[in-house]
Amino acid sequence: MTADKPRAADLVRPSYRRMSLYTSVRAPVALDLSDNTNQRGVPPAALAVARDAGPEIYARYPSHYGADLKRALSDWLGVGPDEIVTGCGSDDVLDSAIRAFAETGDALAFPEPTFAMLPYFGHMNGLVPKPVPLLGSDRGYDIDAEGLLATKAKIIYVCTPNNPTGTLASREAIEHVIQAAPGLVIVDEAYVEYAGESLVRRAKGEGRLLVARTLSKAFGMAGLRVGYAVGAPELVAEVEKSRGPYKVTGLAERMAVAAIDHDRAWVERGIAEVVAARDPFIRALEELGLAPLPTSSNFVLVPISGAKAKAAALREKGVAVRPFEGLAGIGDALRISIGPWELMAPAVAALREVL
């Protein structure tokens, strides 16, 4: 008698079945403020590269480890090319770093709430997630440095500005974690251009710190999936072993280099527009009776009951935002991306109608 063949679902561990974050595709809306991307679009020099690209860029493999991209990043950030690792978005770099520096059964500590993919990477790499709640509103939702260190985790992850709260981890707390951590510290600076406080220069001379960044946000290139991290050469070398070659496509690398070399002023103007609109938008939310969290990013988190239903009602009015349910220490909330004020005014109007 032949045994029944296992189904694909039978081969998946139960914890993995529960972790699909993006399970449906919704119809586009007039104003999408749900994913924290650049509302101004793609840098012009990068678009010119896309228009002029010949067929060879699609027919041949890209560079192994993004040498041209490393050169551009090196010139911009003031670090050596051997202190940079690139990847298919910063989440690829995070995944590769976790795989490089931890083994099955090791602990992965992180603030809660934070970037939703982080515990997923931990599970997929066989690590034990150790969430540590953020400090309360009276402490500015800072990270709990002592709580993170108490986990004795092989890897400690900190996102600053934090997603989804938009809040900054204090420099004092981060420095304490870096100095006392038993293993690798990863600082995710996906939104750092909107905050102006970076640890990139700190990372180049520190043997246990890796700073991850991306071109998906301020640089407006989320669809190209270009991420990178900065760290001491010995750290970067280990992440590259785990990463493997060909992670950044040829077209993405050329467009990224063009944006870094020629469009930084364009990017800075976009950052200034977001910062200029941020405080007026928060005041408008407060006038609606809401209590948004303080933010140093291009989005704001708004605690609100029935977040999922209110997000659905906003979508009916052509505005997409990201609902969260039961965030630790916060509860239900809406995360709303911030762009130039001409985009935020219709969002305020739609919120007023929904509320």
Q: How far is CA 105 from the centre of its chain?
A: 25
**What's the rounded Cα separation, in Å, for the pair 189 and 348?**
28
* The token pair that represents 153 in the structure block: 């985790």
Residue 5: per-residue pLDDT: 61
pLDDT less than 70: residues of the chain: 1-27
Q: How far is CA 338 from CA 39, 176, 268, 355, in A?
A: 8, 31, 15, 19
Residue 320 pairs in a beta bridge with 32
Q: How far is CA 122 from the centre of its chain?
A: 16
CA pseudo-torsion sign 346, 349, 350, 351: positive
- Check: CB of residue 239 under 8 Å from CB of residue 100: yes
Residue 25: per-residue pLDDT: 47
> May I ask the CATH architecture of the domain 24-42+265-354?
Alpha-Beta Complex (3.90)
Q: Pick from 173, 155, 15: which is nearest to 99 by CA?
A: 155
Q: Is the domain 45-262 a CATH 3.40.640.10 member?
A: yes
Strands (E), 176-220: 184-188, 209-214
**Max CA separation in the chain (angstroms):** 72
Strands (E), the chain: 31-32, 84-88, 107-112, 128-133, 155-159, 184-188, 209-214, 226-231, 299-303, 319-320, 322-327, 331-337
Where in the sequence of the chain do the CATH 3.90.1150.10 domains occur? 24-42+265-354
- Check: CB of residue 76 under 8 Å from CB of residue 264: yes
Number of other CB atoms surrounding residue 30 within 10 Å: 10
Where in the sequence of the chain do the CATH 3.40.640.10 domains occur? 45-262
